[in-house]
Each structure stands twice: as structure tokens, then as C-alpha cells.
Structure 1
Amino acid sequence: MKKSVEIKLLPGEVWWGGAVHDGTRMPYGGADDAVAVNLTNLLENSGAPFLVSNRGRFLWLDQPFSFVFRSGIMSIESEEEIVRHSEGFANLPGAYRQASRQHFPAQGACPIRSHSRRPNIAHGWKCTMSRRRKKRLPTQWRYCGTVFRRAF
């Protein structure tokens, strides 16, 4: 059963977060245009069930959700969780710090050393196998070889 909640935006409040490919549409809530974002199926996109505002509020759910900004109201809908937001953290950095402490705290460990010695570029999508031929395509091999020879 879907659960939903509506949150009235504060004067001048805008929000960031959700899916990476929606970055050009952010911040949300500042324009008169309606914006709808569905985080329940990210497909090949990167995202998180997290929104943070410039007025010190944040929203975090452990499950994906969808949201709509329209006429000064943010409507959130989730399949399984009761939607709650946190507020009172003065500004965006304050809200982000509190959200990170509660939901994605630092682990206190250093990153793997080998990951910081050279640039780390994700070219796996270019070096994948042809689904039809079940082998790598010659142009992909040349491309990947060039990338790796140049120490990327």
C-alpha cells in the first residue's frame, strides 16, 4: 500500500538530491513549473533516496520513492515506509551533516591506496562484450587498449 505525505515549502526554500541525471533540473521547488521525479526505478542512473534543502531540512527513506514539487508543496510517495522529514538544521550544510551522521556516517577508514595513485576512469561500458557475438568488438579492443596504455 502506498504511503504519501505533503510538505509545505518554506519561503525561498529549494531542494537538491535524488537522481544524478536530474541535476540540470535542480534545485527543485524554486520555479512555478511542476517537477515530478520517480526514484523507484533508477535504471542505469545513480541516485539516492535523499533530498536536502537550503532551509535546513532533509528527507531520507531507506526505500526508493517518488516526489512532485507543485505550487509550493512537495508531495512524496513511497511503497513501504512512512515518510518523515527532519528539520531545524539552519541551512543546507547543517542538514547535510545531520543526515550523514544519521544515515551514511563516515567509517573512519582511508580509501584504498591504489585508487588514489592514478586517475580512476570507469570505461567498463566501452569494454563490454557484444551481446550478439559473445566476443569483444575490434574497435572496443582498440579503444580500451589506448586507454590502458596511456595509464588511465
Structure 2
Amino acid sequence: MPHIRIRSRHQPFEIAVLVTAPVCGLLLIVLDVRPQSVELAMPAPIQVGWESGLILVGITGLLGVLWPGRLSTALGIELAAVLVLATLTGMYAVALTVVSGRQAVAAASFIAAVAAGSGWRSLEILLDLRRMVRASQLARADPLAAGGGR
């Protein structure tokens, strides 16, 4: 089987965000507080989904990063989490910008960077999964190339 390079699964910034997301979601729910931008820009059911989404994303993402089984399964779980994380953080960046305008430039920029980083990581995972599929197809098509005939 040809050598394929899978990007590092130990992404410190991604892991830091995935650890922080459920903590934030839990604190929002337990303390029954929300950022003013979220309260003003999102209807109540969307707020609940946003808060619980933070919890779900963090737990799911960490599960994918720590998955002990097949690499493709781990990457798929991680991909789902970072795609949703990109959506949730994008929602928050938009809410900040809509409600606070120029006053939210710093905060919205940092949150938008998390959304962009999540999107970037999603693309990396998709490319890794695609490489794995191609390598698997090559190995099935040419068993000698995979070392099966030696």
C-alpha cells in the first residue's frame, strides 16, 4: 500500500477549543445567562440549540480526536464536530457584528477566526479521507503494489 500522509491528529488549538466549547455551553445553560448579542439576534429556540450545540460539538470532537478504533471513523467523527463548530462560531460572530457593530470588531474577529479555523480543519480532514480512499482503491486494484505478492 502506498505511503499516505495524514495530517497530525493532535491539533493543539482545535483541542483547546473543543475542550472549552462544552464548558461554555454548560455554563450558559446552568447559569441561565447569554451574551446580549445572542439574546437580541437569535430566537429562543435557536439560542437553546446554540448552547447545547457547544456541548455536543466539544464532546463529539474530543471523541473523534481520541477515538481508539479505525482512523477513518475517528476522522469522520472529528469532521462532523468541526463542521458544526464552524457553524456555531459563525453564528456567534454574525450576532456580535449585527448587534454591536464596530464595537465588536475584536471579539467578532477572534470568533470568526475560530469559525475559519474549523472550516480549514474540515478541509484537511476531507483531503485526508480522500487520500485514504484512493490508497485503499489502489491497494485493491494492484495487490503487488501493496506488498501482497511478496
- Fold agreement, TM-score > 0.5: no
- Which protein is richer in strand relative to its size? 1
Higher relative contact order (CA 8 A, sep 6+): 2
- Which protein is richer in helix relative to its size? 2
TM-score by length of 1: 0.29
TM-score by length of 2: 0.29
Decide which structure has the larger Cα Rg and report it: 1
